[in-house]
Amino acid sequence: MAGPQRDTAAPRPTSRDVARAAGVSQATVSLVLGDKWQGRVAERTAERVRAAARELGYRPNLAARNLRLGRTRTALLVVPALTNEFFARVHTGAARVAARHGFGVVLYPTPDLTAPARDPFDSARASLDGVLASSMASEALGAIRGDELPLVMLDSDPAGSLGASTVNLDIADGMRQATEHLLALGHRDLLHLAADVDSWTFHVRRDALVAAVRGSGATVRTAKALLTVDDARVAAEAALGGPGPRPTAVVCDDDILAAGVCKAARRLGLHVPDDLSVTGFDDLTLATAVEPELTTVALPAERFGEQGMATLIAVLDGRAPEPAALPAHLVVRGSTAQSPASRR
Amino acid sequence: MAGPQRDTAAPRPTSRDVARAAGVSQATVSLVLGDKWQGRVAERTAERVRAAARELGYRPNLAARNLRLGRTRTALLVVPALTNEFFARVHTGAARVAARHGFGVVLYPTPDLTAPARDPFDSARASLDGVLASSMASEALGAIRGDELPLVMLDSDPAGSLGASTVNLDIADGMRQATEHLLALGHRDLLHLAADVDSWTFHVRRDALVAAVRGSGATVRTAKALLTVDDARVAAEAALGGPGPRPTAVVCDDDILAAGVCKAARRLGLHVPDDLSVTGFDDLTLATAVEPELTTVALPAERFGEQGMATLIAVLDGRAPEPAALPAHLVVRGSTAQSPASRR
DNA sequence: CTCGCGACGTTATACGTACAACTAAAGGCG
DNA sequence: CGCCTTTAGTTGTACGTATAACGTCGCGAG
């Protein structure tokens, strides 16, 4: 019989409601709550306004604020997939820095390939101030034109992304470290297992690998696999079980590939690391979960995201971003050892 | 001397600009582009408007639209951490369904514990229409009061989340399957390794485990570890290396824990699965990357997210959500085998 | 006394959109 | 011809905020 205590939709209080409760005008509320009241509103009044706002549970309407100010303090993060731990970490770092500056982060692409003509710029039904994009998100990049919004690229060819600032990981140096590690262990027949052979980062890795072996007398072959444990295993079985001299070490562009290679080795009756050395990339959770633990090139993924977002915010604030390249470092674990030949 | 071809900030065209270009009023533009022009605007005119919009590269201002409509078609997803593959998958599913209904998804919490008094409701500087929250995000939940926004809970105690709809995974049944699998293999001394012993899901698993062993004569002990491979290894070494009868099987609440247990076993000189059977939960990438591959309870994480978002959208549209419990199923792989005793 | 000025607010307006309410012209019909 | 209906739009307004521009006191100086 008795109606509900609250109406089904209790309308949120507006700044006008707060004003009424505090006995001031809406403008005063805006001044006080916007921290721009120094010398314009008496302390007593300001406190009354704050109390009223607290009392009513007032929260400013972001849509109205965004409309008024013409900016949203929201950035778009473009990555291939969050299920890839590396990019989840990048997101974590980016979101942390964003929050510290009062920015929000939304993600693109929303993983629905069947949706008709998704617009990256209203990814989360929000207007955007800027874009932070990984060069790995190749399909999504087509939809993003740099002249629309301030853009910062993550790990992109500086020459190819004209106008946009870039933040890079020094994956070339990481690859150099991994390669020299293997060369020092006596390996001379290397296999390079890659996932994204079309990407810019592949060529960076590839070039670094080739440069590092130059003069050592070592040979390098390349194989390709999808970025899954299983496909990497299949590819590695094919490459390692084939005719001709078998590589003694496999350099993988991702820990997931390395895990697949380890499984392939086991199937082929090869022992890692005694018969076959394997290196990965990224130092994912995976790397220490498998046996043996993976020697891998650790990348500061979170700092990568942090630096990227910091750069984007700097751009938005009109400050000149200092270019940055984050260092990679090799973590030597149990999946690499002296080559069979050099051990004798 | 010559100015830049474009001003530094070329103001985005508004619906009024489109109207001027098409020789109509702003209202007409709104009607045409809002697909609500049937019978109100002539096809010729509509086409002219669309052409003008295309020409100018018009995009509606989301902030203005949100303000006008009083809703944003944006939902908040509350999860513990995206670096947890399970929740990354939940996000993927949720975002897919959201996109299909023209909704966006923003994430909370932004991982910055140092930020002062973050407001969950302006997580991404956007107003929100609803909240989809995992019960695992315990700290964040404190900030969320169900009476503020429509709320759908993921995997929560139906009794504890009054008012809010819930979508659940049938983890109890998953646990039952795993336990019966181990019992059928002759195991009678089980160890239950858990991460979140304070959570509701822990108790569900625990109760299901206890119920499944009832009458079998089997015993169950419980150990606790952080959700990392390394901490699980340490905890398992302590539990398996201690005095008294050693468990012959370990039931883990997460694949990450299971991987740690496998490593502990190796250190203790135990062979998995011959000396020790191990089961995991979630069927992560990890599960098939380790040796042996993990027997694990696979959860439909993406469908979980999909169903959760579908339910939230149903609530927002005023439709009665059909309650759902998604099935779990055991995937038997190489980490479980006959107990040593029963093999003799 | 009155002018000016700092302190303390207020009034008015614009942001860009969606839609209710209105208008204007053209056709239909007896 | 007068009146209603349909078609094809337009005018006007509100969403909630931030801020520019404008009062209005009280008080000390000239």
- Could A99 and B85 be called an inter-chain contact, meaning their C-beta atoms sit closer than 8 Å? no
Report the percent of chain B where pLDDT is more than 70. Answer: 88
A-chain residues near B229 (CB < 8 A): 285, 288-289
d(CA B132, CA B321) in angstroms, rounded, equals: 14
Average pLDDT over every residue of A120-131? 78
**pLDDT at A114 exceeding the cut of 70:** no
Residues, chain B = 344
Q: Which two tokens stand for residue B300?
A: 């439909």
Instruction: Report which residue type is found at A104.
Output: G
A145 CA: distance to closest CA in chain B (Å)? 12
**pLDDT at A300 exceeding the cut of 90:** yes
CA of A110 to C1' of D12 (A): 39
| B7 near A CB under 8 A | no
For residue B221, which of B263, B266, B251, B254 has the smallest C-alpha distance? Answer: B251
A-chain residues near B259 (CB < 8 A): 289
Nucleotide nearest to A18 (CA to C1'): D16
- Could A125 and B229 be called an inter-chain contact, meaning their C-beta atoms sit closer than 8 Å? no
Scan residues 30-69 of chain A and list those with Cβ within 7 Å of strand D.
30-31, 33-34, 36, 58, 60-61, 64-65, 67-69
Q: Three-state SS string across chain B, please?
A: CCCCCCCCCCCCCCHHHHHHHHCCCHHHHHHHHCCCCCCCCCHHHHHHHHHHHHHHCCCCCHHHHHHHHCCCCEEEEECCCCCCHHHHHHHHHHHHHHHHCCCEEEEECCCCCCCCCCCHHHCCCCCCCEEEEECCCHHHHCCCCCCCCCEEEECCCCCCCCCCEEEEECHHHHHHHHHHHHHHCCCCEEEEEECCCCCHHHHHHHHHHHHHHCCCCCEEEEEECCCCHHHHHHHHHHHHHCCCCCCCEEEECCHHHHHHHHHHHHHCCCCCCCCCEEEEEECCHHHHHCCCCCEEEECCHHHHHHHHHHHHHHHHCCCCCCCEEECCEEECCCCCCCCHHHHC
Which has more pLDDT, B318 or A85?
A85
| A2 near B CB under 8 A | no
Asked if B15-60 and B74-169+301-326 have one fold, the answer is no
Residue B23's pLDDT band, with cuts at 50, 70 and 90, is: very high
| B177 near A CB under 8 A | no
d(CA A177, CA A332) in angstroms, rounded, equals: 10
d(CA A130, CA A233) in angstroms, rounded, equals: 40
Which fold is adopted by the domain B171-299+329-343? Rossmann fold (3.40.50)
**pLDDT at B282 exceeding the cut of 90:** yes
- In order of A90, A95, A147, B234, B278, the CA distances from A137 in angstroms are 13, 18, 18, 38, 37
Cα torsion through A237, A241, A247, A249, rounded to 10: 30
Write down the pLDDT at residue B337. 97
Write down the pLDDT at residue A146. 60
A-chain residues near B228 (CB < 8 A): 285
- Could B290 and A290 be called an inter-chain contact, meaning their C-beta atoms sit closer than 8 Å? yes
Q: How many CB pairs under 8 A join A and B?
A: 181
Which has more pLDDT, A173 or B128?
A173
| A258 near B CB under 8 A | no
Q: Is the CB of A20 under 7 A from strand D?
A: no
Q: Which among B82, B89, B106 has the least Cβ separation from residue A91? A: B82
Average pLDDT over every residue of B223-245? 94
Instruction: Indicate the CATH number for domain B15-60.
Output: 1.10.260
B-chain residues near A64 (CB < 8 A): 63, 67
DSSP structure string for A45-76: HHHHHHHHHHHHT----HHHHHHHHT---EEE
Which has more pLDDT, B273 or B36?
B273
Write down the pLDDT at residue A136. 84
Which residues 25-44 in chain B show a CB within 8 A of chain A?
A: none
A-chain residues near B106 (CB < 8 A): 104-106, 124, 126
| A230 near B CB under 8 A | yes
Which residues 43-82 in chain B show a CB within 8 A of chain A?
A: 59, 61-64, 66-67, 72-74, 81-82
- Could B110 and A99 be called an inter-chain contact, meaning their C-beta atoms sit closer than 8 Å? yes
Q: Is the CB of A127 under 7 A from strand C?
A: no
Q: Which two tokens stand for residue B79?
A: 């999860």
d(CA A136, CA A77) in angstroms, rounded, equals: 12
Write down the pLDDT at residue B127. 83
A74-169+301-325, which class in CATH?
alpha beta
- Could B110 and A118 be called an inter-chain contact, meaning their C-beta atoms sit closer than 8 Å? no
Kindly report the bases of strand D lying within 7 A of a protein C-beta atom.
Answer: 7-12, 14-20
Average pLDDT over every residue of B255-273? 97
Which has more pLDDT, B236 or A12?
B236
**pLDDT at B2 exceeding the cut of 60:** no
d(CA B168, CA B153) in angstroms, rounded, equals: 8
Residue B147's pLDDT band, with cuts at 50, 70 and 90, is: low
Residues, chain A = 344
B290 CA: distance to closest CA in chain A (Å)? 5
- Could A95 and B114 be called an inter-chain contact, meaning their C-beta atoms sit closer than 8 Å? no
Q: Is the CB of B292 under 7 A from strand C?
A: no
**pLDDT at A1 exceeding the cut of 60:** no
Tens of pLDDT along B158-177? Answer: 766 667 889 999 999 999 99
**Of the ranges A72-76, A303-307, B87-91, which one carries the lowest mean pLDDT score?**
A72-76
Q: Which two tokens stand for residue B242?
A: 């201690």
Give me the residue spans of the domains in chain B.
15-60, 74-169+301-326, 171-299+329-343
How high is the mean pLDDT of chain A? 89
Task: Mention every residue, 6+ apart, whose C-beta is less than 8 A from residue B155.
Answer: B134, B135, B136, B166, B167, B168, B169, B171, B200, B201, B304
Q: Which among A81, A99, A127 has the least Cβ separation from residue B118? A: A99
**pLDDT at B344 exceeding the cut of 90:** no
Nucleotide nearest to A33 (CA to C1'): D18
Mutation target vs B (from A97, A127, A132, A304; most B CBs, 10 A cutoff):
A127
| B272 near A CB under 8 A | no
- Helix or strand run (H / E) with residue A256: helix A255-267
Which fold is adopted by the domain B74-169+301-326? Rossmann fold (3.40.50)
Q: Is the CB of B271 under 7 A from strand D?
A: no
CA A268 to chain centre: 35
Instruction: Indicate the CATH number for domain A171-300+330-343.
Output: 3.40.50.2300
Write down the pLDDT at residue B5. 35
What are residue A176's DSSP bridge partners? none
Q: Three-state SS string across A276-343, please?
A: CEEEEEECCHHHHHCCCCCEEEECCHHHHHHHHHHHHHHHHCCCCCCCEEECCEEECCCCCCCCHHHH
DSSP letter (8 states) at residue A121: G
Write down the pLDDT at residue B112. 54
Tens of pLDDT along A66-107? Answer: 999 999 999 999 998 999 999 999 999 999 999 889 899 999
Helix (H, G, I), strand (E, B) or coil at A150: coil
Scan residues 28-47 of chain B and list those with Cβ within 7 Å of strand C.
30-31, 33-34, 36
